Amino acid sequence: MNVVQTLPTPGDTSWFVHDRFGLFIHWGLYALPARHEWVKHNEQIPDEVYDVYFRHFDPDLYDPRAWARAAAGAGMKYFVITTKHHEGFCLWDSKLTDYKAPNTPAGRDLLHPMVDAFREEGMRVGFYHSLIDWHHPHYIIDPHIGPYRNAPNRDEMNANRTQARYAEYLRGQVRELLTEFGQVDILWFDFSYPKPDGSGKGREDWQSEKLYAMVRELQPKIILDDRLDLPDGWDIKTPEQFQPRGWVMHEGQPVVWEACQTFSGSWGYHRDEASWKSIDQLVQMLIDTVSKGGNLLLNVGPTGRGEFDARALDRLAGLGEWMKRHSRSIYGCTQAPPEFKTPRDCRLTYNPETNRLYVHVFAWPFVELHLEGFGGKIEYAQLLNDASQVAVQGRPDWQSHFGDVGGDIVTLRLPVQKPDVTVPVIELFLK
Ligand code: GLC
């Protein structure tokens, strides 16, 4: 059966397109203000004021094994952690800066135990690393982003800064990350914003080509995102906080892609945000992503005490409850071959290895579900949650009385009551 072929990638994406579902973690000093990881920029907080969070960062309840269990329980297969976010604070014991977890009340490297814990749960390891840095003394302050973007003395502040020294620091830290933690499966740089007048930041500011060469030399198989401002060399496209309409394309070609999404809008822990997505929405989002051939990287912002808060645990548990019975329609699955038309209110996924097709029903219909393009192709059908048979009929006789439904329609006979699961799935064994 014809499934979409993507452009070949320099890194190893074979496991990635199988596993489909990962956990993003945004954790840094911004967990303390608890009002967005961009707080330093949003409120234009100078270093000496922001420092209060450095002095009080004390995640005494931090238990990375609990995080890893929560992620594995939700059905996630890999994780991506912010080794450093835009604020510049580092979770590991970098030799190149003092601005790191061991120098806070936390008093230790927080990254190694996390990597170990997730590996123990059988999960792959990804590092998010911010290109942007609002703390480094050689990072040139530009007029667009950062706490000092509007500073009247910006030029003065920049007088002694040499961006190339920052680029060297960036490379040095990435070298640490790619040599001190064993195999790293994903590297997620964030982000470039080049401007035509040269005032933003892009490949020249990061020395992206040098950085890229080093990354591929140290970890040739690593999966690299697309935010270094390089025309090629990346492995994945990374749409953020929206669901693409279809398979993500680059210059007319389908590519490997991963949507990244939050529970509530902000990535870092946000105490007061009320826009939390429901379990229903999140399960639908995961399905929708895989039905378009993509991966979903879903984010948790742990608290300053070092925990996933109750709202996050609730969503992860809900996802896990669904995944327990339905992961077969996610792992190893991709967009269905084009001859199968997606019925109204549904999403299709397809596993080319097992030749099974999955109909995810977002709005439960009344008894009959009509499938177009499926005529003569179904060997057996069942509800995935309980393996109960679903009757498959050719076009019922009465349809001739009510007008032609057209094409090669097959009708599934469903129970009147929606199965008691977030999104019911019908598993079709194809001939
Ligand atoms: C952004 C934001 C950010 C977040 C990231 C995740 O570009 O700067 O805070 O880390 O997207 O995709």
Instruction: Looking at the structure, tell me whether residues 315 and 344 fall in a common domain.
Output: no
What percent of the chain stands above pLDDT 90?
A: 93
Mean pLDDT along residues 285-307: 98
Instruction: Looking at the structure, tell me whether residues 421 and 360 fall in a common domain.
Output: yes
> What would the pLDDT profile of 202-252 be if each residue is shown by its tens digit?
999 999 999 999 999 999 999 999 999 999 999 999 999 999 999 999 999
393 pLDDT more than 90: no
Q: For residue 227, which atom of ligand 1 is closest to its CA?
A: 7
Instruction: Looking at the structure, tell me whether residues 138 and 198 fall in a common domain.
Output: yes
Instruction: Looking at the structure, tell me whether residues 423 and 315 fall in a common domain.
Output: no
94 pLDDT more than 80: yes
d(CA 391, CA 8): 41
Instruction: Looking at the structure, tell me whether residues 163 and 108 fall in a common domain.
Output: yes
Mean pLDDT along residues 281-294: 98
d(CA 336, CA 292): 8
d(CA 240, CA 244): 9
User: How many other CB atoms are there within 10 angstroms of residue 253's CB atom?
Assistant: 10
Of 313, 329, 345, which closes a domain?
329
- As for how many domains the chain has, the answer is 2
404 pLDDT more than 80: no
Q: Could you tell me the CATH number of the domain that includes residue 387?
A: 2.60.40.1180
Instruction: Give me the pLDDT at residue 292, please.
Output: 98
**Residue located via tokens 């500073």:** 151
Two tokens, residue 96:
């190149």
Does residue 205 line the site of ligand 1, with CB under 6 A?
Answer: no
Instruction: Give me the pLDDT at residue 407, please.
Output: 64
Instruction: Looking at the structure, tell me whether residues 341 and 295 fall in a common domain.
Output: no
User: Using an 8 Å Cβ cutoff, are 289 and 40 in contact?
Assistant: no
Model confidence band, residue 2 (pLDDT cutoffs 50, 70, 90): confident
134 pLDDT more than 60: yes
Q: Is residue 323 part of a domain?
A: yes
Instruction: Looking at the structure, tell me whether residues 247 and 206 fall in a common domain.
Output: yes
Residue 190 Cα to ligand 1 midpoint, Å, equals 7
d(CA 337, CA 2): 5
Residue 116 Cα to ligand 1 midpoint, Å, equals 25
Q: Is residue 5 part of a domain?
A: no
Instruction: Looking at the structure, tell me whether residues 171 and 146 fall in a common domain.
Output: yes
Instruction: Looking at the structure, tell me whether residues 369 and 312 fall in a common domain.
Output: no
Model confidence band, residue 78 (pLDDT cutoffs 50, 70, 90): very high
405 pLDDT more than 90: no
Buried b or exposed e, range 388-422, using 16+ CB within 10 angstroms: eebebeebeeeeeeeeeeeeebbbbebeeeebebb
> What would the pLDDT profile of 269-285 be if each residue is shown by its tens digit?
999 999 999 999 999 99
Model confidence band, residue 396 (pLDDT cutoffs 50, 70, 90): low
Instruction: Looking at the structure, tell me whether residues 203 and 273 fall in a common domain.
Output: yes
Mean pLDDT along residues 28-56: 98
Instruction: Give me the pLDDT at residue 383, please.
Output: 98
Q: Is residue 4 part of a domain?
A: no
Does residue 260 line the site of ligand 1, with CB under 6 A?
Answer: yes
Helices (H), 248-309: 279-291
Query: Which of 133, 240, 298 for mutating ligand 1's site (highest number of atoms within 8 Å of CB)?
Result: 240
Q: Which domain holds residue 145?
A: 16-329
Instruction: Give me the pLDDT at residue 402, please.
Output: 52
Does residue 190 line the site of ligand 1, with CB under 6 A?
Answer: yes
Instruction: Looking at the structure, tell me whether residues 288 and 204 fall in a common domain.
Output: yes
What percent of the chain stands above pLDDT 70?
A: 97
d(CA 63, CA 46): 31
Instruction: Looking at the structure, tell me whether residues 342 and 221 fall in a common domain.
Output: no
Q: How far apart are the first and last CA of the chain?
A: 11
User: Using an 8 Å Cβ cutoff, are 320 and 73 in contact?
Assistant: yes
Instruction: Give me the pLDDT at residue 397, please.
Output: 55
